[in-house]
Amino acid sequence: MKKAVILLSGGMDSATILAIAMDQGYDCYALSFSYGQRNKIELIAANKIAKASAVKEHQTIEIDLGAFGGSALTADIPIPKNRTEIGGEIPITYVPARNTVFLSYALAYLDVIGADAIFIGVNALDYSGYPDCRPEYIEAFEKMANLATRRGVEGKHPIRIETPLLYMSKAGIITAGAALKVDYGITISCYDPDKKGRACGACDACILRKNGFEEAGFPDPTKYQ
Amino acid sequence: MKKAVILLSGGMDSATILAIAMDQGYDCYALSFSYGQRNKIELIAANKIAKASAVKEHQTIEIDLGAFGGSALTADIPIPKNRTEIGGEIPITYVPARNTVFLSYALAYLDVIGADAIFIGVNALDYSGYPDCRPEYIEAFEKMANLATRRGVEGKHPIRIETPLLYMSKAGIITAGAALKVDYGITISCYDPDKKGRACGACDACILRKNGFEEAGFPDPTKYQ
């Protein structure tokens, strides 16, 4: 069986890539991170998603990205609400080098289990201005990954960083996920949920998600505050 | 002042790159990792080296590379001793994606403090067969780093991954460090030190270090068991 490491945040995008990887016949090894973020509720969602799918293994790694500060998602900086122009400049919710740290751990995991691919739910269309969600970044990481590891040096096929959502709209992601029976009711996207896990409805992530359900013509299963 | 992040392991190579970065006029931000390795004694050495130099800041990040297993340095696998052929195949002391994880955290640190460079003490000559010590790997990481971060996208100059030891022999490193007054007596290289921090004298790292002092014609300040 071919194996893949799936970066599973608990959001709708990562739930969708897990479903896509399963559908492509991969044995899936899910990887989540507890990184001092506000939304620990994401991890509860990630556990639910991993259980609902038949993943081979689900690891959660505790990391301290907040040690350096510099982001509204890890430090005590207000989350921007009701922004009308999403995209363009890099927003305060950017976590320095987050995807690079995540992908590096995924690469360690891949190297140990001898996997072929890492699936990550980055998106270049609906994205919020993060440099580490762009296709040129992913290509550069993939090239580096093949030079960095035992698996890259000794493997028969190159390591691939799979980004099935890269050019999909949020509406397209929802439509694709629904066809694979993803339960979006157990996912969470909000940067600033309340203690019961209900979404704020006003941060960039909530706005993109709400618009996605509307455009896809699917009922939005999100619980709002 | 220009700033640099220095990956400081507590070994002789990282002590030397710190001295080189200071000599080049950088404000130095040292970064160490506690990663479930056998040689926690390295961290004591890293603290001594950081204090002996006038670093601006020294951060130690706790990470769990051992979560995935797969290496004699993080799992309960015997360390090879008295190997006569060092180099060639990838040895059991290889920690999957270690330098990639280390450099990724350094990149997060760089992005927050607005540094220009990361110094890492990799070596392509005396190296022990690790894929993530090769120049092509470092070049690929540097390219990725510039696409990954706010500093890479918005900075006036590209981020550089500085590897001053890349083509130096261990003897050359010792000679260069001695000229910059590096105290190698407080550094440790051994993969398998005893509880008092004394080196085994027989692992790959000890053999390379011993030969280095001999070739350089300097007295070896290492405490052996």
- Closest by alpha carbon to A108, among A33, A215, A202? A33
* DSSP bridge pairs for A33: A61
pLDDT at B65: 72
- A225 located within any domain: no
ipTM for this prediction = 0.88
- Has residue B13 got a pLDDT over 70? yes
* A136 near B CB under 8 A: yes
Region A138-153: what's the mean pLDDT?
96
Nearby residues of A133 by Cβ (< 8 Å), 6 or more positions away: A99, A122, A123, A124, A127
Nearest residue in A to B146, CA atom: A137
pLDDT digits (tens, 9 = 90+) for B82-118: 666 655 567 777 788 999 999 999 999 999 999 999 9
pLDDT at A113: 92
- Has residue A81 got a pLDDT over 90? no
CA-based nearest distance B143→chain A, Å:
7
Question: Are A104 and B109 a contacting pair at CB < 8 A?
Answer: no
Q: How many CB atoms lie within 10 A of CB A53?
A: 19
The more confident residue out of A192 and A213 is A213
The more confident residue out of B30 and A91 is B30
pLDDT at B201: 93
pLDDT at A22: 97
| Residue to substitute from A62, A109, A113, A141, interface B, most B β-carbons within 10 A | A141
Question: Are B108 and A94 a contacting pair at CB < 8 A?
Answer: no
Q: How many CB atoms lie within 10 A of CB B150?
A: 19
A23-27, A109-113, A123-127 — which is least confidently predicted? A123-127
Q: Which residue's entry shows tokens 């992601």?
A: A173
| Residue to substitute from A57, A102, A111, interface B, most B β-carbons within 10 A | A111
Average pLDDT, chain A: 89
pLDDT at B129: 78
* B44 near A CB under 8 A: no
- Has residue B11 got a pLDDT over 90? yes
- B51 located within any domain: yes
pTM of the model: 0.90
Selecting from A97, A103, A150 the residue whose C-beta is nearest the C-beta of B149 gives: A97
Dihedral sign, Cα of residue B104, residue B106, residue B111, residue B117: negative
Number of domains within chain A: 1
pLDDT at A94: 79
- B223 located within any domain: no
pLDDT at B167: 92
* A140 near B CB under 8 A: yes
**Residue A119 DSSP symbol:** E
pLDDT at B130: 86
Dihedral sign, Cα of residue B96, residue B98, residue B99, residue B105: positive
* B107 near A CB under 8 A: yes
- CATH at residue A148: 3.40.50.620
CA-based nearest distance B13→chain A, Å:
20
Q: State whether residue B66 is helix, strand or coil.
A: helix
CA-based nearest distance A142→chain B, Å:
9
- A224 located within any domain: no
A32-41, A69-78, B159-168 — which is least confidently predicted? A69-78
Question: Are B147 and A153 a contacting pair at CB < 8 A?
Answer: no
Per-residue pLDDT band for B5 (boundaries 50, 70, 90) equals very high
Nearest residue in A to B97, CA atom: A108
* A179 near B CB under 8 A: no
The more confident residue out of A204 and B177 is B177
pLDDT digits (tens, 9 = 90+) for B61-90: 888 776 777 666 666 666 666 666 655 567
- A223 located within any domain: no
- How many whole angstroms separate alpha carbon A103 and alpha carbon A5? 10
- Has residue B21 got a pLDDT over 70? yes
pLDDT at B134: 92
Region A99-110: what's the mean pLDDT?
95
Question: Are B111 and A96 a contacting pair at CB < 8 A?
Answer: yes
Question: Are A140 and B140 a contacting pair at CB < 8 A?
Answer: yes
**Structural domain span for residue B62:** 3-216
pLDDT digits (tens, 9 = 90+) for B152-210: 999 889 999 999 999 999 999 999 999 999 999 999 988 888 888 899 999 888 998 99
Question: Are B100 and A131 a contacting pair at CB < 8 A?
Answer: no
| Residue to substitute from A35, A144, A149, A153, interface B, most B β-carbons within 10 A | A144
Nearby residues of B217 by Cβ (< 8 Å), 6 or more positions away: none
Question: Are A61 and B64 a contacting pair at CB < 8 A?
Answer: yes
CA-based nearest distance A217→chain B, Å:
34
- A222 located within any domain: no
- A25 located within any domain: yes
* A142 near B CB under 8 A: no
- Per cent of chain A over pLDDT 70 is 87
Question: Are A68 and B148 a contacting pair at CB < 8 A?
Answer: no
- How many whole angstroms separate alpha carbon B198 and alpha carbon A34? 36
Residue A137 to residues A39, A76, B219, Cα–Cα distance (Å): 25, 28, 47
pLDDT digits (tens, 9 = 90+) for B114-131: 999 999 999 887 556 789
- Has residue A32 got a pLDDT over 90? yes
A57-71, B15-29, B54-68 — which is least confidently predicted? A57-71
Nearest residue in B to A137, CA atom: B147
- B221 located within any domain: no
- How many whole angstroms separate alpha carbon B157 and alpha carbon A38? 33
- For A29: left if phi > 0, alpha if psi spans -120 to 50, otherwise beta; the answer is beta
Question: Are B61 and A67 a contacting pair at CB < 8 A?
Answer: yes
